Amino acid sequence: MKRKRLRIVNKFRFSIFLTVVCLIFISTIGTVLGLNTAESAQEAAYMEISVNSGDTLWGIAKKYGPNHEDPRKIIFEISKINQLDEDYLQQGQVLKIPIYD
């Protein structure tokens, strides 16, 4: 039984196909190896505040966050930076608050 030989009919389409396959391959390998991650070149700036009696994360986020930003996002950032598991704050507790430009 004789095998039929394949031949390239349209070289331009074949070139585009190979280019797309190579880009997908390179992107996949970069993702698997962790090379496609973006990190900030600038280190974040923080200020430290001491929690007073009656302070809440919501109040702190409204006071120190930008006016146009949703306080829930700022609360999430503060909780993440300070490794807070719950919303309960203690008087005298020191929190790092991101400085927004």
Question: pLDDT tens, 71-88?
Answer: 999 999 999 999 998 878
What is the value of pTM for the model shown?
0.56
- For residue 94, being part of any structural domain is answered with yes
- For residue 3, being part of any structural domain is answered with no
Residue 94's domain comprises: 46-98
**Which pLDDT score, from 0 to 100, does residue 40 have?**
67
- 49 burial type by CB count under 10 A (0-12 exposed, 13-18 middle, 19+ buried): middle
For the cut 90, the answer to whether the pLDDT of residue 1 exceeds it is: no
Looking at the fold, whether 57 and 90 belong to one and the same domain comes out as yes
Number of domain units in the chain: 2
- For residue 72, being part of any structural domain is answered with yes
Strand-pair category, 94-98 with 46-50: antiparallel
pLDDT (mean) for 10-17: 94
Looking at the fold, whether 25 and 50 belong to one and the same domain comes out as no
